[in-house]
Structure 1
C-alpha cells in the first residue's frame, strides 16, 4: 500500500481491496471497506468502484452490520441499469449472488415496509431470468418471507417449488438450504423430520463457512424436546465453539443461551451472554438482535426465579447491572422489537414466538456439559451424609399411634428397637414416631423406654452440639436410674465426644478417657457390653485422630494411635459373636485405621483395611454404611495400580451411597470410576459419561475447581479417543485455566498436547502448533526429554500444515536435536526430511539445498544402522532409510522445473528424473529386504519407478514394473482384500492403460 502522503492510484486501491478481502470479518474490515469505496470514487474508475461496493457488501454481510448492505446494493443496481457493460463476469456473478442477501436483510428489518420487501422479489426474479439463472434462490427467498409471516400454507407450497427448481451456481449451498428447510419443519413441530433434514450437515457430509455452526444451534431445542439430551449436549459443545465471538452468527449464539437456560446450565448461559452482551444493543440486523434479546430474557428470568436477581452482570462499556435489571431491559426491548415487526407484517407471528421463547421452561434441571461455568452462589445446596428420608411405613406407623393408644405405642417401640438392632437408616424416624405417639397419647414410658427415646432424640439433635450433649447426659441419667450402668456410661461418652468435636477437644477427650476407664471396669464386671466399651474407645480414637497435627510429636502420636487402633480392632474381633452390630463396629475401626495408614503413606495396608471394612459392613447387612469404606478402597486401589478393584469399589460406593455423599465426594467417586475404566481400556463412552458426572458434581461443590479440572482432563482424553474432536477441544480449553492454577505442570502439558491433537484434526493447524509449542516449553525443563521431543515434532507438523514455513522449520530443527540426544535417529531423520520439503518450498536455491538436507537424513540413518547390533532396531532404521530413498526421489521430481523432453529442457530434467529413478530403485530394494511387512511400501515405490520410466520414455520397463505390481497382489479379490491392495491394483492398471 502507498504511504500516507502518497496519492492513491487505481492500482494501489485495487491491491488494498484484495488485501481487505483476506481480513477477518468484523468492524475493522467494514471500516476499511467503507474507506476504499470513498477512495475508488475519487478515481473515476467505475469498474473499480463497483468492485469496492461489492467488497463492502461482502464485508457487511458476515457481521452484525449486515443491515447496512441495502444502500450500496441499490447503488450497484443503478450502475447496472446505467452501464451494464461495466460489469465484468465476476462482478456480475457477485451482484446476482448478493441479491439474495439483500432480500433477507429487508425481511429482517421492521423499518422496511412489507410492500417494499415484496416489490424486491419480482425484481430479483426478473434479474435472474435475464441472466439465465434458475429461480431456485427466488423461491427460497419467497419461502423465507412466508415463514417469517407465519403463512404455513404458502410456505409449504413455496418449499415444494423451491426444491423442485434446478440448482445452479446462484443457488445457496446445500447445507444452507437444509438449514432453512429444517428450521421451518422444527417450527411446525416436526422435530424428527427437521433432524433428518439436517442430518447431512450434522454428519459432516455438507458444510460451508456458516455450517454446521447454525444447524448445530438450531438442533438444540428439537433434540431436547425429543429427550435426546446427550446429542443436544454434544451439539452445544461443538456449535458454541464454532459460533463464539462471530457477529454474523448472533442467532446461533442466542440458541446456545436458550439451551443453557433450559438445561440447568444458567451459569454457563450467563457467561455466554456476558461475552456477547454488546450485540444486545448494537446489532444492526434487527431480527438477529431479537433472537438474542429473547434468549437473554429467558435466561435472566430463570436466574431471577432461582434466587439470583441481585447478581451483577458485567456489560461492555457500562456499569454492571443486576440480573433483575437486565431482565427488565431485555424483555421490554424484545417485546418492543417484536411489536414493530408485527406492525410491519400485519400479524402477531413474531410477538407470539418471542413470548413463547421468553416463557420457556426447563426440560431438565441437570444436564452436565463438561465445561465449567461460574458458580451462581458461594455455596450451592449440597447433599450431606445424613440418612435417607424416613420410610413411608415409619411415618404411617407414627400417625396410626395417635389413635391406637399404648398397644400401638408398644408396637412402635418394638419396631424402633428392631430397626436399631438392624442399624437401619430409618431407625431414627421410628424413634421419632415413638416420641410423637407418646406425646400425643399422654402415655407414660417406663425409665428404660424413656432413656432410649431421649438417647435417640440426642442423635437427632447432633446438628446442635449443645442440645445434643444435654440430651445425651439426660439419657445417661435415665439409663442409670433404669439400672443400666453400661448404657449410662456409653451415653456420657457420647456427650463427651460431641463436646470434643464441637471445639472443646481437650475437655471432651479428658472426659472420654475417664469414661473409657470406667467402661473397662464395667465390662470386666459384666455390667457393660463389648459394643459399649468399643464405642467409647473408638470415639476417643476419632478425637485423637483429629488432633494429631497439633501434637508435640505428630509422628510419635500417630504411632501410638496406630497401636491403639490395632488393639481395639483385636478386642472387637474377640467379641464379634456377642452382638450382630459388632461386625459394623469392626468395620468402623478398620476404616479409621485405614485412613490413618493411608495418610502415612501405607497404601497397601490401608487398602486391606478398607476391604475388610467393606466385607464386615456387608456381613452386618448394612450396605448403606459400606459406601464410605468402598469409596476409600476405590481411591487406594487406584493409587496402587489396581484399576479393576477400584472400578468395583467405586461402583459399589455410588450404588450404596446414593444421597449420602456431598458433591465433592460424588465428583471424586465418578472420577475414580472414569480413571479406572480408562486404565483398563474399557469403553471410552462410559469413561466420558463418568467423567462428565464428575465435572457436574465438582461444579456444585465449594472448592471443586481443581477436581473439576482434572475430571475435564479425563473427559477430554476420552472424547479425543472417541474422535469427538470438537467436543474434546471445548472441554480441554475450558479446563486449562484451572489446571494451570491447581495442578502440576504435567497435567497442563497433557491438556495442551491433547488439545493440539484435536485442533490438528479440526484443521486449525496454527492453534494446534501454538499449544504444542507451549507444552514443549514446559516439558523442556523436565529430566526426561522424550515428551519435549515429541511435542516439538508435533508442533513442526502443525505449523507446517498451517503454512508457517519458518516456524515449522525451527520446530523440526528443535525436534531433530532432541531426537539425536535421545538416541532416536529414526525420529531425527523424519524431522530432517520434513525440513527438506520446507527448504524446497521456501529457499531461492530450491532443489540443491533441499537435497543436501535430505542427504543428512540418509547419512544419519546409514551411520545408525552400521552402529546398531539389535535386529529390531536395525529393521526400524532400514525401513526409515527406505522411506528416505523414496522421499528423495519425490523431492527430485517435484523440484524439477520441467519434464524430460519439454522444449525448455536442456538435459537437466532428463538427468534429474534418472537420479530420481535411481533413488526409487534403492527404495524398492530396501523395502524388499524387509519382507512381507513392507509389501505395500515396496509396490508404491515400484509404481513411482514405473511412472518415472514412462516419463523417461522407457515404456517397456514401465509396463514391466506395472505388471510386477499386479502380479505381486494376484488376481483374486476376497472380502478380506484391504483398501491399499485395491488401490495399488487400480494404480497399476491405470498406468498400463495410459501406456497402451
Structure 2
C-alpha cells in the first residue's frame, strides 16, 4: 500500500527517535523508496532531508553526499517544489556537507575550497549572513594548520551577524572553546564553555561534546573534581550516541592520562565497531589514537600481555593492539596529509599518542572491572622509616630485624623483601641465612599470610621448631601462641585454648628462669585474651576479664619498658571491645581513647589506628560527632602510610559517614571516592566497594549533582545483590537512581527503577515504602505519557494507602488518578477522593479535622480545574466547585488563608471566561485588599495575580 505524505512524515519522526546507527539509516533508505511512490516532489525532498539527517548523526557520514547532491539538483531545477522549511533545511545542511568533506581524506582540498565558495555564493543569494561561511573557512584553516588564516576567519566568524543559518549558540561556543584550548588558553576555553556547561545553551549534542572537550583542560588546570564530574555526566550522554565517537575518544584519553586505565578499557569495549567504522575517518583516527595511548599505558604498567577489547574477529593483547591502533591511526593521518600537502595531521596524532599521564590517579567513583592497578601498594612509608632497600641478603636481614625491634609497620615489608631475595637464589637460597633467620622468615610469613588459616598455622609451627633448634624457646612459644589465635579465628576453639594455655604456661616458666623477655610473655598473654574474646558467644563469663587482668598485672611492673607498653594499650582496646559488646558505649569510648593515648605516648602512632577507628564508631553511635570526626581523621592520618588497601577503604568510608552526618557532604564524597578506590585495590569492589559507591551516589544526589549521582548509582547496581547486600540497600539505590533520572528528564527509566524497588519492598512487613514507590512510579509513567501504566501504578499505590489507613496519601493518589483518567472517569475518582475525606472528617476533630477540611477543599478545587480543562469544559459547574473549595479552605482556619485566596483568584479567572468581568473584579479586588500591606513571596504573588485579573476585567 502506498504511503500518504502525512504517514511518511509520521514514519520519519518515529525513525528519527530511534537510536543512531545502521538500522535507523536503513529505515531512512526504505522510506525514501516509499516516498518516491507517493508522486509528490515534496515527499521525496523531505525523505532525502531525513536521510541526510540520520547519515550525519551516525558512523556512515560518507553516505550523506549523494542525497545532498540530489537535493541540490532538485532545487536548481524546480525551487518551487521546496516549501519554506525545506528551503531552510537545504541551506542549513550546506554546513554539514562542507565540514563532512573536510573529514574525508579522499575528497581533494581544491574541491573543499570550491564547495566553500559555492556555499558563500548561495548564502549571499538567499540573503543569509556570512557567519556560517566564515566558521566553515575557520575549520578548513585550522585543519590545515594555517594559523594566520584561522585567526582571520575566526575573527570574521565572531564579527558576522547571527542569523538562522548560524549554528546554535551551544555548538558555536563548543568550537570556539576548542580553538582556545588548542592555543593553550585552557582558562579562556572554560570561560567560553561556561554558558553551555551551566545549561544556558543546549542542543541535541550539547553539552555532550563540551563536557568531553573540557576534561583535559580541567585536569591541566588542577580542577580534578570538576573533571571527574564532567566525565561522569558527559559519558552518560554520549554513551548511546553512535555519532559521538570523537567525544567517546576524549573520555578514553582522559582515563588514560588520569590513572583510570581500567575505566578506559570498559569504554573501549562498549563499541568495538568504532575501531573499524570508516564512514567518518576523522573520528576513527581520533578513536584509534587514544586506543593506542591507552594500550601504551597498560604496557608501561606491565600489562602488555593482558587480553583487551579490540576490533572484532581477533583476540588482542594490550601490546598487539597498541601496535595495530598506532599503525591504523597513522595510516589515516597520512591520507589526510597527502591530501593537504602537509605533515600536520600525522604530527598531531603522534603527539596525542605520546602523551604522558597528567596525574597518577583521579578517583572516579565508578567501579572498573578488572582494575589494572589492583594490588598496587598503599602509599609508601616515610623515608625516615628506612634508608632505602639494601641489595644483599645480610643487609636485608639486618634491616628487617632493626625495623622489627623498633616495632615499625614497615617491618612486614622488610621481611617480605628478604623472603623474595632468598627465594631468588633458588633451592640454595636458605643456605645464605642461619637457622634463626629461617625461623624468623617463617614466623613473619605466617603473620603476613592472607590465605587459608591452616597454611599460616603450619608456618607458625615450622617457625617454632626452628626457634627451638636455634636455642630460642621463648620465641618458639610465642609463635605457638600466635598459631593458637588462628585456630580460634578458624573456629577450632579446643585447639586454640589448649595451644595458648600451653604457650603462656611455658612463657611464664621461661620468664621466671630469665629465658623469656617481658615482651614475649606479654605477647602470649595478649593472644590469650584475644582468643577468649574471639570465642565469647554472649556476655563475658569472666574468662576475658581474667585474661585481661593477667596481662595488665604482668605489664604493670614493666611500665618503663617500651616493648611492653603497646601490649597494655591493646589490653585497653580489648576492654573497649568488651564494653561495646555489653552495650556500654560510653565505657568503650573511654577505653579506646586510653588505648590510643598509650600508643601515642610510646611513639607508636601507627598502632593507634584500630583503637582510633573504633573510638570514632562508638562516639558516632553516641551522637558525639565531634569526637567521632577527630578520631576518624586521626586513624586515617596515622594509618595512611602503612595499612593495607582494605583498611584504607574502611578508614576513608568511616570518615565519610561521620562527615555526612555533620552535613559536610562535599568532604564526605571526597572520602567516599577514596574508599571506593581502595576497595577496588583490595579486590573488594563487589562488596565493600559497592557499599561505598552506594553511599557516594546518595550524597551526590543530596548535593544536587544528579548527573554524577546517576552515573555512580547506575554503575553500582550490577554489583548489588539482595543476598549479599540486603534488599534495603538495593531498594535505596533504586530509589535514589529514580530521583536522579527524573531530575535528568528520563522518566521512563526512573519508573523502571521505582517499580523494581516497589516489587522488592512489597515483601516487607511495613508497606509505607512500597506505597510511596508505587506512587513515584506512577508519576514517572505519567510524565513519560504512558497513561495505562501510570494508572496501574497509581491504583496499586491507592490500595496500599487504603490498607495503611493514610487518608491524605490515599486522597492525593485518587486525585492524581483522576487527572490521568480525565473525562467522566476522572470526575468519578475526584468524587471518590472527596468521599474518603468526608468519611474521615466525620470522625476527626481539632487540627486533624482542619487538615482534612483543607484536603477536601483541595479536592473540590482540582475537580473544578479538571472540569475547566476538559475538551468540552463546563465552566459554570467548574466555578461552583472552585467556590466550594474557597469556602471549605476558609472553614479550615487561618492557616489555610493562602489556599482560600488562591481558589478565589481561580474563580475570578473562570468568571472572566464566563464574560462576567464585574464579578471577577470583585473577587480579585477582595484578594488584593487582603494582601495590601502583607509581606512575603505569597503576598507579592497574590497581589500580582489580582492586578492581572483587574486589568483584564477593565479591558472587557
TM-score (ref. length: structure 2)? 0.88
Task: Kindly indicate whether the alpha-carbon contact (under 8 Å) linking 2:3 and 2:35 is maintained by their aligned counterparts in 1.
Answer: no
In structure 2, relative to structure 1, the CA distance for the partners of 1:718 and 1:429 (3 Å cut) is closer
Deviation at 1:542, TM superposition (A): 4.8
- CA offsets, 1:212-234, max 9 Å, x none? 00000000011111111111000
Shift, 1:936, TM fit:
3.4
Is residue 2–residue 37 contact of structure 2 (8 Å, CA) maintained in 1?
no
1:282 alignment partner, SS class: coil
Specify which of 753, 777, 784 is matched with residue 802 of structure 1. Answer: 784
Q: 1:468 to 1:11 in 2, by over 3 A?
A: closer
Displacement of 1:127 after TM fit?
1.6
Query: Does residue 692 of structure 1 match 2:673?
Result: yes
Count of matched residue pairs: 919
Q: Which residue does 2:943 correspond to in 1? A: 985
Mapped to 2, the partners of 1:641 and 1:358 lie a distance apart of 53
1:666 offset after TM fit, Å? 1.1
Question: In 2, distance between residues paired with 1:28 and 1:806?
Answer: 29
Residue 183 of structure 1: aligned partner: 178
Does 2:870 match 1:885? no
1:854 to 827, 830, 840: 830
The alpha-carbon distance between structure 1 residues 98 and 979, as it changes in their structure 2 partners (threshold 3 A), is: farther
Q: CA distance change for structure 1 residues 454 and 935 in 2, over 3 Å: closer, same or farther?
A: same
1:97-136 mapped onto 2 (5 Å cutoff): 97-136=92-131
Structure-1 residue corresponding to 2:888? 926
Match in the other structure for 2:693: 712
| Residues 1:947 and 2:922 aligned together | no
- Which whole-Å CA distance do the structure 2 matches of 1:734 and 1:698 have between them? 15
Q: Which residue, 875, 879, 885 being the options, matches 1:913?
A: 875
The 3-state SS of whatever aligns with 2:276 is helix
Q: Is the 8 A contact 1:473 1:495 kept in 2?
A: no
Partners of 1:361 and 1:177 lie apart in 2 by 30
Task: Give the stretch that moved more between structures: 450-459 or 298-307.
Answer: 450-459
Corresponding residue to 1:683 among 634, 642, 664: 664
Instruction: Indicate the residue corresponding to 2:167 in structure 1.
Output: 172
User: Residue 371 in 1 paired to residue 333 in 2?
Assistant: no
SS at match of 1:920: helix
Aligned alpha-carbon RMSD (Å):
3.7
Cα deviation, residue 44, structure 1: 4.2
CA–CA separation in structure 1 for the residues paired with 2:849 and 2:594: 53
Match of 2:213 in 1: 218
TM score, norm. by length of structure 1: 0.85
The aligned residue for residue 155 of structure 2 is 160
Q: Following TM superposition, by how much is the alpha carbon of 1:734 offset from its aligned partner in structure 2, in angstroms?
A: 0.4
Instruction: Give the superposition deviation at 1:379.
Output: 5.1
1:673 corresponding residue in structure 2: 655
Instruction: Measure, in 2, the Cα distance between the counterparts of 1:800 and 1:574.
Output: 73
- Structure 1 pair 949/314, CA: closer, same or farther in 2 (3 Å)? same
Aligned to 2:217, the other structure's residue is in SS state helix
Q: Which residue of 2 aligns with 1:660?
A: 642
Partner of residue 551, structure 1: none
Q: 1:109 to 1:430 in 2, by over 3 A?
A: closer
Cα deviation, 1:48-75, whole Å, max 9, x if unaligned, reads 2111111110111111112211110011
Residues in 2 aligned to 1:830 and 1:987: alpha-carbon distance in whole angstroms: 26
Distance 1:396 1:24 in 2: 57
1:295 aligns with 2:290: yes
SS class of match (2:549): helix
d(CA) in 2 for partners of 1:533, 1:93: 92
CA contact (8 A) 1:917 1:945 kept: yes
1:516 partnered with 2:504: yes
How far is 1:646 from its partner? 3.7
Q: Which residue number in structure 2 is paired with residue 754 of structure 1?
A: 736
CA distance in 2: counterparts of 1:427 and 1:667, whole angstroms: 22
**Match in the other structure for 1:45:** 40
Q: Is the 8 A contact 2:864 2:881 kept in 1?
A: yes
Q: Are 2:51 and 1:63 aligned?
A: no
For residues 474-873 of structure 1, the aligned pairs below 5 Å read 490-497=474-481, 513-514=501-502, 516-521=504-509, 531-542=519-530, 548=535, 555=537, 562-572=544-554, 574-575=556-557, 577=559, 579=561, 582-592=564-574, 609-637=591-619, 644-680=626-662, 682-740=663-721, 742-840=724-822, 846=823, 848-869=824-845, 871-873=846-848
Aligned residues of 1:50 and 1:76 also touching (Cα < 8 A): yes
Determine the C-alpha separation between the residues in 1 that align with 2:839 and 2:413: 82
- Report the CA distance shift for 1:586/1:955 in structure 2 as closer, same or farther (over 3 A): same
Partner of 2:900: 938
CA separation of 1:663/1:63 partners in 2, compared to 1, >3 Å: closer, same or farther?
A: same
Question: Which residue of 344, 348, 351 corresponds with 2:339?
Answer: 344
Shift of residue 810, structure 1, vs aligned partner:
1.0
Query: Following the alignment from structure 2 to structure 1, what is the Cα–Cα distance between the partners of residues 148 and 247?
Result: 27
The residue that corresponds to 1:446 in the other structure is none
Please, which moves more after superposition, 621-630 or 788-797? 621-630
d(CA) in 2 for partners of 1:35, 1:471? 79
Tell me: CA distance 1:276–1:398, structure 2 relative to 1, closer, same or farther (3 Å).
closer
Q: Deviations over 1:750-789 (max 9, x none)?
A: 0010000000011111111111111001101110000001
- The alpha-carbon deviation at position 872 of structure 1 amounts to 4.0
Secondary structure in structure 2 of the residue aligned to 1:867: coil
Rounded Cα–Cα distance in structure 2 between residues aligned with 1:510 and 1:652: 38
SS at match of 2:184: coil
Whether contact under 8 Å (1:390, 1:429) holds in the other structure is no
User: How has the CA–CA distance of structure 1 residues 706 and 495 changed in structure 2, closer, same or farther, with 3 Å as cutoff?
Assistant: closer
Residue of structure 2 aligned with 1:958, choices 895, 920, 937: 920
1:899-955 residue CA offsets vs partner (Å, 9 max, x unmatched): xxxxxxxxxxxxx32322222223223333445543433332221122122222332
In the other structure, the counterpart of 2:237 is 242
CA 1:471 to 1:48, structure 2 compared with 1: closer, same or farther past 3 Å? closer
Counterpart pick for 1:205 among 200, 203, 220: 200
CA contact (8 A) 1:263 1:366 kept: yes
User: In the alignment, is the contact (CA less than 8 A) between 1:646 and 1:672 conserved in 2?
Assistant: no
Q: What per-residue deviation string (whole Å, max 9, x for no partner) do you get for residues 316-375 of structure 1?
A: 752432122222211111000011111111222211211111111111111100110012
Pairs within 5 Å for 1:229-378? 229-315=224-310, 317-376=312-371
Q: Report the Cα distance in structure 2 between the residues aligned to 1:316 and 1:431, rounded to whole angstroms.
A: 45
Which whole-Å CA distance do the structure 1 matches of 2:752 and 2:522 have between them? Answer: 61
Deviations 1:512-567 (A, max 9, x none): 64553344356668997765532332244556777x5xxxxx85999575244333
Task: Decide whether aligned partners of structure 1 residues 456 and 895 sit closer, same or farther in structure 2, where only a CA change above 3 A counts.
Answer: same
Instruction: Name the CA shift for 1:789/1:567 in 2 (closer, same or farther; >3 Å).
Output: same
Distance 1:719 1:574 in 2: 51
Q: Deviations over 1:1-24 (max 9, x none)?
A: xxxxx4556665455344434434
C-alpha distance 956-194 of structure 1, shift in aligned 2 (>3 A) = same
Q: Name whichever of 10-19 and 150-159 sits farther off.
A: 10-19
Structure 1 residues 618, 391: closer, same or farther in 2, change over 3 A?
A: closer
1:637 positional shift: 4.9
In the superposition, relative to structure 1, how do residues 379 and 76 fare at CA in structure 2: closer, same or farther (>3 Å)? closer
